[in-house]
Amino acid sequence: MYDLHTHSNISDGTQPVDQLVAQVAASGLSGFALTDHDSTQGWERAAQAAQEHNLDFIPGMEISCSWRGISVHLLSYAHNPAYQPLTQEVEGTRQARLNRARAMVDRLAEDYPISWELVQEQVADPTTTLGRPHIADALVALGAVESRSQAFKQILAPSSPYYIHQPALDPARAVELVRAAGGVPVLAHPRAASRGKTLPDEAIYQLVDAGLGGLEVYHRDNSEEGRAWLLKLAAAEDLLVTGSSDYHGAGKPNQLGENQTSPETVQALKERVTSGLLD
Ligand code: AMP
Ligand code: ZN
Ligand code: FE
Ligand code: FE
């Protein structure tokens, strides 16, 4: 079985790629995808480590998107990482993330002894995709909260006065770009209501029209009714149905392999890849 959604410390996971891959091997999974936010930087190391551990590796990326003020995550599998129209958009989001994080820190600094330097100290290196998790880590370092999860609940939630929406790529455009780059776009946790607003049905249909390849149905944040609706949509539109953990190391309670994807689905996914990356 496969876990198709994991994060390393290239974005907001807490482990370096090698450690993550070693853990995948120890967990008994036969393969996995590395899906760091807005970055493909871990692909080479992950591919090499996977080979050493005899694991099947699918390169992936979780693209930050935004639709009418709603945050949307699109998983991209095995796209050509050198396809400029996509990489330029994603690089733009990474830069915008810095401004947004700085602005959030400015707001927080009115009530907490937090500084931009302290947030910087929480990231593995300057190329890390920065986000709220690193601000959360700074709040933990200050002793303001005990964990990332507590920071997200009590201080960094979308409803909080410190929260600033992350401007990002339109999801339909992202779907088209991933396709053009030969990858397979899969909508991440589409019915994760606990995170805030999710895409309405009509917007998901638009993504299907744009070339969406699959739905991440089995994810801990999707509601039961949401899953049932997604399964119906997948059957009607011939979309892949994936299951994944969204593992972030110690940063989230999600356990590696807690939801899985079958080898048959992975095979079908590979057959939809046109970048040549998996040949
Ligand atoms: P951002 O993209 O900067 O708005 O931050 C949201 C990201 O934080 C999502 O991708 C979540 O997966 C991630 N995250 C990491 N750890 C946690 C946590 N403990 N609780 C909630 N979200 C988390
Ligand atoms: Zn994350
Ligand atoms: Fe996500
Ligand atoms: Fe994720």
Print pLDDT tens along the chain (279 aa): 999 999 999 999 999 999 999 999 999 999 999 999 999 999 999 999 999 999 999 999 999 999 999 999 999 999 999 999 999 999 999 999 999 999 999 999 999 999 999 999 999 888 999 999 999 999 999 999 999 999 999 999 999 999 999 999 999 999 999 999 999 999 999 999 888 899 999 999 999 999 999 999 999 999 999 999 999 999 999 999 999 999 999 999 999 999 999 999 999 999 999 999 999
Which ligand minimizes its atom distance to the CA of 247? 4
What separation in Å is there between the alpha carbon of 20 and the centre of ligand 4? 14
Which ligand minimizes its atom distance to the CA of 192? 3
What separation in Å is there between the alpha carbon of 170 and the centre of ligand 4? 18
Asked whether 252 lines ligand 1 (CB < 6 A), one says yes
Does the domain at residues 94-153 carry the CATH identifier 3.30.870.10?
no
Distance CA 134, CA 19 (A): 20
Asked whether 38 lines ligand 1 (CB < 6 A), one says no
CATH 3.20.20.140 location in the chain = 2-91+169-272
What separation in Å is there between the alpha carbon of 248 and the centre of ligand 2? 7
Residue located nearest, by CA, to atom 19 of ligand 1:
149
Distance CA 61, CA 45 (A): 14
Residue located nearest, by CA, to atom 17 of ligand 1:
252
Looking from the CA of residue 73, the nearest atom of ligand 1 is: 10
CATH 1.10.150.650 location in the chain = 94-153
pLDDT in tens, 72-104: 999 999 999 999 999 999 999 999 999 999 999
Looking from the CA of residue 251, the nearest atom of ligand 1 is: 16
2-91+169-272 falls under which CATH superfamily?
Metal-dependent hydrolases (3.20.20.140)
Asked whether 183 lines ligand 1 (CB < 6 A), one says no
What separation in Å is there between the alpha carbon of 31 and the centre of ligand 2? 20
